């Protein structure tokens, strides 16, 4: 049964589990500093990408959290405001510039990291530029995630009791819409399916959607009694996605997300 009682819990300021181990490995100064919060799905997008690309980074700067150096996004310290005028995470500070420069907004940061990785570590989350149609299919998937699936998640978790059934259906429809885009990509090209295909590599779509599908398994399951769509192919996709090493390294234990979303 879904939990609805307010027990007075609030958002966490220290990550746990595998995410804590990863955070501990990234406390030394580097060319890139990631301003983050341990429960934010938009931050997790960037964290997964950094781990996948193998681009070295530091978490935070003179900021408490992770029991290390991570930002409390609700208190908006001066260091955060310098790199993100709205005081929102994620944000990057590029330390190689004098003075340092900044990049914010998760989708923009991901584009920046993709360009950076393509020219340095030679890793990519996109199909090759020689296959423009496959890249178009990926961008259609990304558009669906950002415009439809993510908003549907928040409408569902914020819905009052009388609208939870409808908003739950809308979230399922958003997932089904993404599945249809994956199926289209599988039919029309082999290089834009990401982890949807058995043996596929992580894609930018996987990175963009994984934090919300992951929270569907803990936050939505706890507060809305939600169950992800059935079907062997979707279950296999979720297993590959949630167990992908770069993603697992950024995940805290379920209680962190459940507590942080209570209010």
Can you spell out the DSSP letters for the chain?
------------SS--HHHHHHHHTT-S--SEEEE--TT-HHHHHHHHHHHHHT---EE-SS---TTTT---TTT--HHHHHH-TT--S-EEEETTSSS-EEEESHHHHHHHHHHHHHHTT---SS--TT-HHHHHHHHHHHHHIIIIIHHHHHHHHH--GGGHHHHHHHHHHHHHHHHHHHHHHHHH-SSS-GGGSTTPPP-HHHHHHHHHHHHIIIIIHHHH-------HHHHHHHHHHHT-HHHHTT---HHHHHHHT--
CA–CA gap between residue 263 and residue 261 (Å, rounded): 6
Q: Are residues 108 and 146 in the same domain?
A: no
58 phi/psi in degrees, rounded to 5: -120, 145
Which of residues 95, 119, 143 is at a domain's end? 119
**What's the CATH code of the domain at 68?**
3.40.30.10
Cβ neighbours of residue 168 under 8 Å, at least 6 residues apart? 156, 159, 224, 226
Among the candidates 96, 119, 142, a domain finishes at: 119
Q: Does 109 share its domain with 182?
A: no
Does the residue 7 lie in any domain? no
pTM over 0.85: yes
pLDDT tens across the length of the chain (263 residues)? 455 555 656 566 788 999 999 999 999 999 999 998 888 999 999 999 999 999 999 987 433 333 333 455 555 666 666 666 666 789 999 999 999 999 999 999 999 999 999 999 999 999 999 999 999 999 999 999 999 999 999 999 999 999 999 999 999 999 999 999 999 999 999 777 899 999 999 999 999 999 999 999 999 999 999 999 989 999 999 999 999 999 999 999 999 999 988 86
- Residue among 242, 141, 145 nearest 182 (CA): 141
173, part of any domain: yes
Write the pLDDT tens digit of every residue in 138-163.
999 999 999 999 999 999 999 999 99
| pLDDT value of residue 68 | 31
Residues 86 and 176 reside in one and the same domain: no
What is the model's pLDDT at position 64?
36
Same domain? For 234 and 152 the reply is yes
In a shared domain, residues 160 and 239: yes
In a domain, 33, yes or no: yes
The alpha carbon dihedral of 174, 175, 180, 181 has a sign of: positive
In a domain, 1, yes or no: no
Same-domain status, 192 and 154: yes
Contact 150, 212 (CB under 8 A): yes
Domain count, the chain: 2
Same domain, 138 and 218: yes
Please give the structure tokens belonging to residue 61.
Answer: 């700067």
Cβ proximity of 170 and 152 under 8 Å: yes
Parent domain of 221: 132-201+203-243
What is the C-alpha separation between 73 and 40, in angstroms, rounded? 9
Q: Note whether residue 174 is domain-resident.
A: yes
């Amino acid at each position: 049964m879904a939990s609805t009682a307010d027990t007075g819990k609030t958002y966490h300021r220290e990550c746990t589990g595998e995410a804590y181990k990863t955070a501990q490995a990234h406390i030394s100064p580097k060319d890139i500093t990631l301003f983050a919060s341990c429960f934010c799905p938009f931050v997790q997008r960037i964290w997964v990408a950094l781990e996948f690309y193998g681009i070295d980074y530091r978490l935070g700067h003179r900021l408490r959290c992770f029991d290390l150096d991570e930002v409390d996004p609700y208190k908006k310290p001066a260091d955060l405001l310098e790199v993100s005028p709205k005081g929102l995470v994620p944000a990057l500070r590029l330390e190689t510039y004098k003075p340092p420069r900044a990049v914010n907004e998760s989708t923009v940061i991901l584009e920046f990291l993709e360009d950076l990785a393509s020219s340095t570590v030679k890793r990519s989350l996109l199909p090759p530029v020689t296959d423009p149609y496959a890249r178009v299919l990926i961008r259609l998937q990304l558009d669906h995630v950002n415009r439809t699936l993510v908003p549907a998640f928040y409408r569902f978790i914020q819905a009052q009791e009388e609208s939870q059934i409808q908003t739950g259906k809308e979230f399922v429809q958003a997932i089904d819409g993404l599945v249809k885009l994956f199926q289209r990509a599988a039919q029309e090209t082999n290089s834009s399916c990401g982890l949807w295909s058995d043996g596929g590599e992580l894609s930018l779509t996987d990175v963009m959607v994984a934090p919300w599908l992951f929270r569907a398994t803990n936050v939505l399951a706890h507060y809305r009694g939600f169950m992800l769509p059935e079907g062997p192919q979707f279950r296999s996709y979720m297993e590959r996605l949630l167990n992908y090493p770069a993603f697992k390294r950024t995940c805290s234990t379920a209680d962190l997300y459940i507590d942080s979303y209570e209010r």
